[in-house]
Amino acid sequence: MNIFKTAILMALLTGIMVAAGNFVGGSTGAFVMLVISLGINFFSYWFSDTMVLKMYNAQEVSANDAPQLYNLVAQLANKAELPMPRVCIIESEVPNAFATGRNPDHAAVAVTTGIMRVLDYNELSGVLGHELAHVKHRDILIGTIAAAMAGVISMIGSIVQWGAILGTRDNDDNGGIIGTLAMIIVAPLAASIIQMAISRSREYDADKTGAEICGNPIYLANALQKIESFTLNAPPIEHASTATAHMFIINPFDGTEKFLKGLFSTHPDTEDRIAKLRQQASDMHLLN
């Protein structure tokens, strides 16, 4: 169901982007925006992993540097039938983790020193299983494309806004003032809502598959509870950016930006995620 929902949301996002391009410059504008979007997607697809790892100063480690972490990732990757990803550590007391990379053959899993301190071995396996599920589902590619499309739509909205302010656009063109307001306000807002909905949908699937990879949904449920408790009572992870918030297992800004809920949240409600995991554990007869 979540895969079908993601496909529908991506189609809606594409439709908004093409409509926005058409509004600005007719069929030529739509084509230009499509080319720009493809260019952004290409750049993000090939270089976003390097950029985000550098942003958080994530250091790659080997089996000699962090044997317990490295071996746990290796065991889980083998169980998930995935190539061994790069393993990285971020120096931060804030517990969190994310996966990045353009495909399973070029993936990286990053965890903070805080998450290794706060979680026990089983809970950490749940988190790593979740991140490997993102790799397995190619969610990184989906998230990158969705973010790029939303960014293009917002850019078009800004162009239209400045055109209206400077008087370079005739309000009678393409729907008049109503069409202009739709491009300035409605289209970027709708794109943002759809992007967030895609992100939330992929989190549910990663929870389910991650629980299967680690072997027990309760491991991940307990980990999510601990991470959120810390997040709600501490500053966000160092160098955190709202542009990369969707990548983490729990939004690092949940404790400081409480208005990012519902439609505008990158992640489902943690209590709901935990409830689904507990139901999954019950179905697997593992709830004791």
Cα 36 to Cα 100: distance, rounded to the nearest angstrom: 23
Cα 176 to Cα 190: distance, rounded to the nearest angstrom: 20
Cα 41 to Cα 149: distance, rounded to the nearest angstrom: 8
Active site includes 60?
no
Specify the 3-state DSSP secondary structure of 71.
helix
CB 96 within 8 A of CB 248: yes
Cα 41 to Cα 200: distance, rounded to the nearest angstrom: 20
Q: Residue 109: name the closest of 136, 89, 81, 91 by CA.
A: 89
Q: Is the torsion defined by CA of 189, 195, 196, 197 positive or negative?
A: positive
Considering the candidates 60, 93, 123, 131, report the single residue annotated as catalytic.
131
Cα 47 to Cα 31: distance, rounded to the nearest angstrom: 24
Cα 246 to Cα 143: distance, rounded to the nearest angstrom: 8
Residues annotated as catalytic are: 131
